[in-house]
Amino acid sequence: MIFQLLRVKISELQGKVVGIYFSANWFAPCRKFNELLIDVYEQLKSQGCDLEIVLVSSDEDIDAFNNYRASMPWLSVPFSDLETKRALNQSFNVEAMPCLVFLQPNYEVDDITMHDGVELIYRYGIEAFPFTKERLEMLLKEQKEKEENQTLVNLLTNHDRDYLLSNDPLSHQVPVTSLQGKTIGLYFSAQWCVPCVKFIPKLILIYQKIKQNLPKEEDFEIVFVSSDRDEASFCSYFGRMPWLAIPFRDSTSKDLAKHFDVREIPCLVILGPDGKTVTKQGRYLINLYQENAYPFTDARLEFLEKQMDEEAKSLPKSAFHAKHQHELNLVSERTGGGPFICCDCDEQGLGWAYQCLDCGFEVHPKCVRPIQQPNT
């Protein structure tokens, strides 16, 4: 049995939901998830839930293991027990970390296990307990109902507040109802986040261009959803923005991050005039299409993709870039390309790109910096 592999007293795990946690101190995504998992674990234990977690470490040395384990309130397989760690990895076919496999009480080898524990914790937190198939189906049903009933007002207001903050000296509070019928961008960001600070000048510029180009019957607005750590940082950061914001430490900010499953910032979620979600990839679309991405709908994106394909017909099949020694080949999603981070501007890309087939260097076509081709 799996519990015998863990070499702990059966009495410690009997009747409990057990999470087998594959992780390592040296891997940043593991450290990030670990903070959330500790919070969820402690909340569930304080509520009397029958849960235990067992760490299966992939740390490289005993000091790293001890330092990592010291932050954890749960059990662990000894660092030196390579046989058990190897057997657990093989039993659950672990291919990536962090990985969290949930076993139900009185688990047997042939029982169905919940392998996507990391996803469940990120998406639902303590609400996912006891991590059964039935509980997941219920949560998915509730999520679908929330999305179907989603409106701008129920997203952005609560019992204590029906307004958003503004930097307009004549009107510091803007009623949420005044945004109904507009396309809205929810901008999840924070001043401490370097990519956020880097993205904000571009977003301000694109925001202003979209506003300038809109027909009279349409409007676009952005709402800042802060992850700042203190009010001074929030005020300083928001002071640079020409749009609206949810007040600092308002509970709605966390509710929105959970509702839209925001795991990384900056993130720009686009809502349509009806308050329904259009896309969670607003940042990526702005990086790719700038102001032309508006209104971010599937129809608009299909048009832009066709336009990009037409423009690509006039591009050279290969090019050289000042930052790279090898020849770059023009590729598309259909010919070996795909989502990438441009090695020139450090922004996301998709569709057409110039790519080094030898080492993976990849840039947007617009970011190619031609140099004289070497003599052959």
Residue at which a domain ends, from 273, 301, 329: 301
Residue 214 CB contacts under 8 Å (≥ 6 apart), including other chains = 220, 294
* 3-state SS class at 358: coil
Instruction: For residues 112 and 47, state if they share a domain.
Output: yes
Return the number of other C-beta atoms located less than 10 Å from residue 197's C-beta.
15
**Structure confidence at residue 335 as a pLDDT band (50, 70, 90):** low
Q: Are 354 and 322 in contact (CB under 8 A)?
A: no
**Do 214 and 262 belong to one domain?**
yes
The residue among 312, 287, 292 whose CA lies nearest residue 303 is 292
Question: What are 79-124's pLDDT values in tens digits?
Answer: 999 998 999 999 888 988 999 999 888 665 544 567 789 989 988 8
CA dist 235 and 318 (Å) reads: 47
- Same-domain pairing of 20 and 130: yes
Task: Using the predicted structure, report yes or no on whether residue 356 has a pLDDT greater than 90.
Answer: no
Entry pTM = 0.71
**Domain encompassing residue 326:** 315-367
pLDDT digits (tens, 9 = 90+) for 201-250: 999 999 999 999 998 888 999 999 999 999 999 999 999 999 999 999 89
Say how many domains are in the chain: 3
pLDDT on residue 138: 93
C-alpha 266, offset from chain centre:
9
| Rounded-to-integer distance, Cα 209 and Cα 204, Å | 9
Task: Report the C-alpha gap between 120 and 102 in whole angstroms.
Answer: 10
- The alpha carbon of 286 is separated from its chain's Cα centroid by a whole number of angstroms, namely 17
User: Backbone phi, then psi, for 57, in 5-degree steps?
Assistant: -85, 145
